[in-house]
A = this chain, B = another copy of it.
Amino acid sequence: MSIENTVQQFNQKVSHISALNGALGLIHWDGATGAPKASIDMRSRNIGILGGEAFKMSVDPAFKELVKEICDNKDEVDSVTYETARLYLKDIEKTEKIPPQEMQAYMELRSKSQQVWEEAREKDDFNLFAPYLKKVYEYAIKFAEYTGYKDHPYNAVLDMFEEGITVADLDAFFAELKETIVPLLKRIQKEGRTLRTDFLSRKYDIEAQKKLNMELLDLIGFDLNRGMMKESAHPFTLNLNVNDVRLTTRYIEDQMASAIFSTFHEGGHGIYEQNIDTKYDGTPVANGTSMGIHESQSRFFENVLGRSEALWQYLYPTVQKAFPEQLGDVTAEEFYLGINNAKASLIRVEADELTYSLHIMIRYEIEKGLFEGSIDMDRLPEIWNAKYEEYLGITPPSDADGVLQDVHWSDGLIGYFPSYALGNAYASQFVHKMEEELDLDALMAEGNYQPICDWLKREIHQFGSTQSPKEIIERVTGEPLNAKYFTDYLKKKFEKIYF
């Protein structure tokens, strides 16, 4: 077969898989944002059929032949086709190392394990869940052996979510965190001033919140001609394609800040997807490159911009005007401080900017320990609680609010949590570089986000999945991951706020 022919056949299959994935994405979106309740059975059936078809196409040996043919002839094919094939090849080579019947058994275990986790959390009984979590780890460790790794088996699972990031990177990263943030938090707990937060739990009309959040989304640079925002129980971002990126947020009457920071967070994910070079559209290259880089963008918009003093100088009058009754007696300064109130808490998803990464550190230490065999699964609740006491100064009153709080492990997402913390670190490292070129505070204070979005597009977004997180961070900032930028940022910000 001529290479032209190969390219044509390959691209046809890519388009077909992409059309199926687009349909699956839309079915998911529809299910989360308002499909009729009773439609769930047929939706599940259709997801099974179309998802199965997309999977079958992507693991078809004939497809692999096309992929390899293209990867072997880089110079004779266009760059989009090549990048697409390269991405598929990486996936195929990972997938095919695992015997299909073991993967099948693992999928079934995960499904069952999630059910058991739900029950265990409800009953606050870790012992129910422990045998399943043990099996999940057994698979994860076995699969790490199949796929192979350097230095540490945990590197195999890390690589699935954050290609190139290793235990060595994370150890250094969390050591830095432990050395600076843990003492800073203790100092704040002891001698930090008390911030006013009463106004955040006043009642804010939902319709008015909706209007405000749509304005905020537009303001930070999300293009509403090429995307939309609705509501769902758990906010998420979905890129159907480069010109159709969808977000959700969630409105709570007496927690107005909740929707705003969800909007900023998902908006950051969305802006990343919208800024990918359109030439990749309809291929898997048109996705953010990793969980960590994605999270760096959402955290940048949520925290670095979204919880900055400069932004609220500009923005506060708009918000105050939208809620004159609730915010009439609150100054811009008080608002800024209130949304940055740092407080050790039990639940990761409710944590503030300062303490969030400490929650991740605990999960990382446990995951690594379980992989190494240095932690005994049956003692997990005890170990969990001791770490919360050590790093955050609080002890969960129950496992439901402790070791059982997150769904991730039950679903086999091991090695996934670190990307949340990496996102924060990447963001600070990018910002440090960005500030060589842009006066961020000045831009935010005048509500001028275009130069910021342009910088992110030029340096990060446009490339989609063509570069690994490691490649991006080193190309953009000129050095590998360096946690210093993040801890410096936190120290500077929170010392000013609290002392």
Instruction: For A15, list chain B residues within 8 Å (CB).
Output: 45, 49
**Is the CB–CB distance between B23 and A46 below 8 Å?**
yes
A246–B42 alpha-carbon span in the complex (Å): 15
A29–B406 alpha-carbon span in the complex (Å): 35
- A10-49 contacts to B, CB under 8 A, are 15-16, 18-20, 22-23, 26-27, 30, 34-39, 41-43, 45-46, 49
**Is the CB–CB distance between B42 and A225 below 8 Å?**
no
Q: Is A243 interfacial (CB 8 A cutoff)?
A: yes
**Is the CB–CB distance between A19 and B39 below 8 Å?**
no
Q: Of B20, B244, B246, which contacts A38 at CB under 8 A?
A: B244
| Most chain B beta carbons < 10 A, residue from A46, A245, A281 | A46
Instruction: For A35, list chain B residues within 8 Å (CB).
Output: 228, 244
Main secondary structure on chain A at its contact with chain B?
Answer: helix
Knowing A30-B30, A42-B282, A244-B42, the reply to whether A50 touches B20 (Cβ < 8 A) is: yes
Knowing A15-B49, A16-B49, the reply to whether A226 touches B23 (Cβ < 8 A) is: no
Knowing A42-B243, A49-B16, the reply to whether A36 touches B281 (Cβ < 8 A) is: no
A53–B13 alpha-carbon span in the complex (Å): 12
Q: Is A442 interfacial (CB 8 A cutoff)?
A: no
- Indicate how many identical chains form the complex: 2
Q: Of B27, B36, B42, B43, which contacts A227 at CB under 8 A?
A: B36
**Is the CB–CB distance between A19 and B49 below 8 Å?**
yes
Q: Is A240 interfacial (CB 8 A cutoff)?
A: yes
Q: Of B50, B244, B245, B281, which contacts A23 at CB under 8 A?
A: B50
**Is the CB–CB distance between A38 and B282 below 8 Å?**
no
Shortest Cβ distance from A242 into B: residue? B42
Instruction: For A27, list chain B residues within 8 Å (CB).
Output: 23, 26
A35–B227 alpha-carbon span in the complex (Å): 8
Q: Of B26, B36, B39, which contacts A30 at CB under 8 A?
A: B26
Q: Of B18, B34, B43, which contacts A228 at CB under 8 A?
A: B34
A274–B45 alpha-carbon span in the complex (Å): 19
Q: Is A224 interfacial (CB 8 A cutoff)?
A: yes
A196–B337 alpha-carbon span in the complex (Å): 62
Q: In the complex, given contacts A35-B228, A36-B225, A43-B244, what are 20 additional A-B residue pairs having Cβ atoms less than 8 angstroms apart?
A: A15-B49, A19-B49, A19-B50, A20-B50, A23-B23, A23-B26, A23-B50, A26-B27, A26-B30, A30-B30, A36-B226, A36-B245, A36-B246, A38-B225, A38-B244, A39-B226, A39-B244, A42-B244, A42-B281, A45-B282
Closest 3 CB pairs of A and B: A39-B244, A23-B23, A19-B49
